[in-house]
Structure 1
Amino acid sequence: MRTREGTLERGPEGGRLVDAEGAAIARVRAGEPEAYAELVRAHTAAALRAAVAFGAGADAEDVVQSAFLKAYQALGRFREGAAFRPWLLRIVANETRNTVRSAVRLRAVAGREALLLGPEPLIPESADPALAAVARERRGVLLAALAELTEEQRQVVTYRYLLEMDEAETAEAIGCPRGTVKSRLNRALARLGQLIRGEGGEGHG
């Protein structure tokens, strides 16, 4: 829906958001490019989280800027009535993949740690040092496990849990049926469990 400032905000009903996004896109297509700024403001945070989660690291902002530019250029192909965020995040994922490949080395672990920790520490500095040490150890185990997943598994876990997208949005972002999301997610979570427990074994997408 539209706020007083003219930006988009995720409302209680997904349909409202899609309608508001569709209205903004229609304005852009009608020759009002400044309306695109509403979409940029509404989805920049999610796009940055996705870029970091997929390994963009220090290049996350550049990746997101490039993704928004490519999305703008491709608005003519955007399917009317669809949600903008999953479509945008597919572009972010592709841009991140290209950036990581061109940089030669993968910077995903450091980027995911920043994403998982967020702006606030999970345990305050005043807390028991022993508890803080345990929390750091658990985070390290989780980050190492995420790095061991296949790209498909990492994507579905990131969309579904780190970005808190529902199954339909995740399916649209990945470009696959909802049933595929469920099966990939089941395999990814099972694999994460094995890795965290130190069982090893082969992981498959």
Structure 2
Amino acid sequence: MTDAELVVRTRAGEPDAFGMLVSRYYDAAWRFAYHMLGERADAEDVVQDTFLRAYLAIGRYDERDQFRGWLFRILTNQCRNSITSRGRRTRRFVQDEIAIETAASPPMGLPSGVEDAVLLRAMAQLDPLQREALLLKYAEGMEYTEMSAMTGVGESALKMRVKRGSERLRALLDKVGDVRS
């Protein structure tokens, strides 16, 4: 069943239809939130709130948009709100073995053999908007047009965020390589 069909069924009050959408997108949403926030509990809270907001707003969903993009727009805003509400707390490193196993693929051109834990620590040091752009581009495989529609940020700005985030990530990883040598 397509996302559009499930949305129609959800609007018609079919109880399992939205559950199917949740099942379809939960893992990707959780992975994105976890990489953005660095904490399991924060990610879980944000994802639950995202799906609740999506369910409550399903009547305002425009069928011309892809459901995935619409959902990730809500998710991205919830992640941003969570980051803002935390203030400027010390950034946390991701050290959970399960998270390491499901880490996002690094951008093309990164040195081979970079350990996932090192990559996640480096990602945690990026500016949140750069981290968000890198995750949408490389972990979620979104095109710039989809990212732009989802975030409300122009494609050129997103390309710059990805470029600068990639450069910063490479520099951080190079620094780790220099320390190990």
Q: Confirm whether residue 177 of structure 1 aligns to residue 159 of structure 2.
A: no
User: Residues 92 and 46 (structure 1 numbering): CA distance in 2 closer, same or farther, change over 3 Å?
Assistant: same
Q: Does 1:50 align with 2:32?
A: yes
Letter in 2 for 1:49: R
Correspondence for 1:129: none
Are residue 142 (structure 1) and residue 119 (structure 2) matched?
Answer: yes
**Is the alpha carbon distance of 1:193 and 1:177 closer, same or farther for their aligned partners in structure 2, counting shifts above 3 Å?**
same
Structure 1 residue 34: deviation in Å? Answer: 3.1
Relative to structure 1, the CA distance from residue 156 to residue 108 in structure 2 (aligned partners, 3 Å threshold; closer, same or farther) is farther
Count of aligned pairs: 166
The alpha-carbon deviation at position 40 of structure 1 amounts to 0.8
Stretches of structure 1 that go unaligned for 5 or more consecutive residues are: 3-19, 120-133, 200-205
Contact 2:126 2:165 in 1 (8 A): yes
1:186 is paired with a residue of what secondary structure? helix
Alpha-carbon displacement from aligned partner over 1:61-95 (angstroms, at most 9, x marks no partner): 23211110001111122222211112212222332
Q: TM-score, normalised to structure 1's length?
A: 0.67
| Secondary structure of 2:73 counterpart | helix
8 Å CA contact retained: 1:57, 1:110: yes
CA distance in structure 2 between the partners assigned to 1:112 and 1:171 by the alignment: 31
Deviation, structure 1 residue 192: 1.7
Alignment of 1:1-205 (within 5 A): 2=1, 20-55=2-37, 57-59=39-41, 60-102=43-85, 105=89, 108-110=92-94, 114-118=98-102, 138-198=115-175
- Secondary structure of 2:93's match? helix
SS at match of 2:65: coil
Paired residue type of 1:109: F
Q: CA deviation at 1:100?
A: 4.5
Query: How far apart are residue 29 of structure 1 and its match?
Result: 2.0
Cα shift readout 1:78-118 (whole Å, capped 9, x = no counterpart): 22221111221222233233344545646652178754422
Q: Contact conserved, 1:56 with 1:63, CA < 8 A, in 2?
A: no
Larger radius of gyration: 1
